[in-house]
A = this chain, B = another copy of it.
Amino acid sequence: MTQEPEQAVEDTDAREDDAYALQPKNVAAILFAVDTGEREKLIELMEPLHPADIADLLEQINAFDRMRLIKLYGKEFDGDILSELDESIREEVIRTLHPEVLADAVRELESDDVVDLLEDLDEAQQEAILEVLEDSDRVAVEQSLTYPEYSAGRLMQREVVMAPEHWNVGEAIDYLRSTDDLPEQFYHIVLVDPKLRPIGNVGLGRLMASRREVLLRSLISETFHVFPVTRPEGEVAYAFNQYHLISAPVVDESERLVGVITIDDAMSVLDEEHEEDILRLAGVGEESRLSDGTVETVRQRLPWLAVNLATAVLASLVIAQFEDVLATVVALAVLMPIVASMGGNAGTQALTVAVRSLATKDLTSSNVWRIILRELSVGLVNGICFAVVMGVLALLWFGSPVLGGVIAVAMIINLVVAGLAGIGVPVVLERFGVDPALASGTFVTTVTDVVGFFAFLGLASAVLL
């Protein structure tokens, strides 16, 4: 008896150290079992892995190994693995699975996970999965699919634990004890009025700590948010993060309770939105995945490079206006990329802070003018610093005080413009309803390139020709 707990602690430790990130040596052992077709060995090796780890494993190995592993693993395949899988290879895995295994896997899932699964499949695959569901589940899933993509309605699970507002603690506990199909995890009971409209959340901790005769209504949590089914999932995630919500009810147009969103779903959305922001800022397609092949990757990245080419050609057109002075003073060709590069970097700095602040709703019309003024001052201060450095450097390198002066003035102009563009472009894009993370980078570096070359070469031709 005393032996058992010790065992449990050791198991936990072992699992943590191994499965944290999937260890390469485990992956190698699993692939070896697949190569040699040892089913028992494979199952033994996979047993300690969490479905999320198995999904990671499937993403890391190549398509051929993936297919063989899934075939060999057979009916051990768990529904949660499908939920955890990246969308880019989910379709492929579903096609590989034996129809019976797929049916079993899908039946295990909660309704929100089934919806998430179906969203990205083609119609034939959707049909195949809907068919294997029980009637009531199928209706629930089909109903969820009528809500807009990326809405609270798609994110919620339909399994809700609710209670009439007039119940007391004892009635709630008796109800919970007598109910068979409670959701796997839940943290609150939603109180509803006779029209099924949510009135408040009662946390299970407070419920447990109260005597049987206490009214549920007196235990309602202070922080309570209700989301309409159409609320975008990004705003739901923002509210969970901002107000430290654990679960929140979702209502339809007539304010009736139809589902509940839990913090782990919100956390996934937050994670995805961050990921998309980073990828967009870098000009990589937001759907980009590590497991994508060459063709898919080229398809995502080529458009952004094409936009960049267009802006680079624009900058070259500016340079071409000054061929005369460039032919006379070759030093200009040597120095001009420095001015453009510094402007591009300073602009990206200001831009990144602005894009993030817009996303987190920290940058609003209440403080935008103060921040614009700050970026202007920062650009000026940085501009003066680097003007001095580059002025001296150009003087020493080419022995020309005039050249030093020209690059110094151009540097100040470009860093001030970079600051203004860095904050101004995303704010204006946001106001016009364009995602600033997506388009700001190209705009800002175009501005700093064009202004940088124009200021530097323009000044030079005015002074030196």
Contact = CB atoms under 8 A, between A and B. Distances in A.
Interface stretch (A129-137, A141-149, A385-393): A385-393
Interface string A253-281: 00100000001101110110011011101
Q: Which of A210, A240, A338, A371 has the most CB of B within 10 A?
A: A338
A36 interface: no
A332 to B, nearest CB: 8
A9 B327 CA distance: 74
A349 B301 contact: yes
B56 A302 contact: no
A246 B224 contact: no
B193 A290 contact: no
Contact of A242 (B52, B308, B333, B342): B52
B342 A305 contact: yes
A432 interface: no
B298 A381 contact: yes
Interface stretch (A90-98, A120-128, A150-158, A180-188): A180-188
A462 interface: no
Contacts of A346: 301, 305
Contact of A173 (B208, B267, B351): B208
Interface stretch (A38-46, A68-76, A101-109, A199-207): A199-207
A131 B342 CA distance: 50
Contacts of A364: 21-22, 24, 27, 60
B327 A315 contact: no
A363 interface: yes
Interface string A1-15: 010011011001100
A417 to B, nearest CB: 15
A241 interface: yes
A345 interface: yes
Nearest to A385: B302
Contacts of A205: 161, 176, 182-183, 185-187, 204
Contact of A356 (B278, B312, B326, B330): B278
Given A208-B207, A241-B271, A242-B50, A323 B313 contact: no
A199 B8 CA distance: 6
Contact of A449 (B326, B337, B366): B337
A362 B239 contact: no
A16 interface: yes
Interface size class on chain A is 35 or more
Contact of A208 (B208, B239, B338): B208
A275 B370 CA distance: 22
Contacts of A443: none
B209 A288 contact: no
A187 to B, nearest CB: 6
A111 interface: no
A138 interface: no
A435 interface: no
Contact of A187 (B9, B204, B301, B390): B204
Contact of A290 (B50, B342, B363): B363
A378 B297 contact: yes
Given A24-B364, A24-B366, A203 B177 contact: no
A274 B355 CA distance: 14
A257 to B, nearest CB: 11
Given A9-B197, A186-B205, A246-B187, A333 B326 contact: yes
A309 interface: yes
Interface in A337-368: 337-338, 340-342, 345-346, 348-349, 351-353, 356-357, 361-367
A366 B264 contact: no
Interface in A154-178: 161, 165, 173, 176-177
9 contacts: A5-B197, A20-B238, A282-B348, A284-B352, A292-B374, A294-B381, A313-B338, A316-B335, A319-B333
Given A284-B352, A290-B362, 10 more contacts: A5-B197, A27-B366, A60-B364, A176-B205, A283-B349, A301-B378, A302-B382, A305-B346, A309-B342, A315-B337
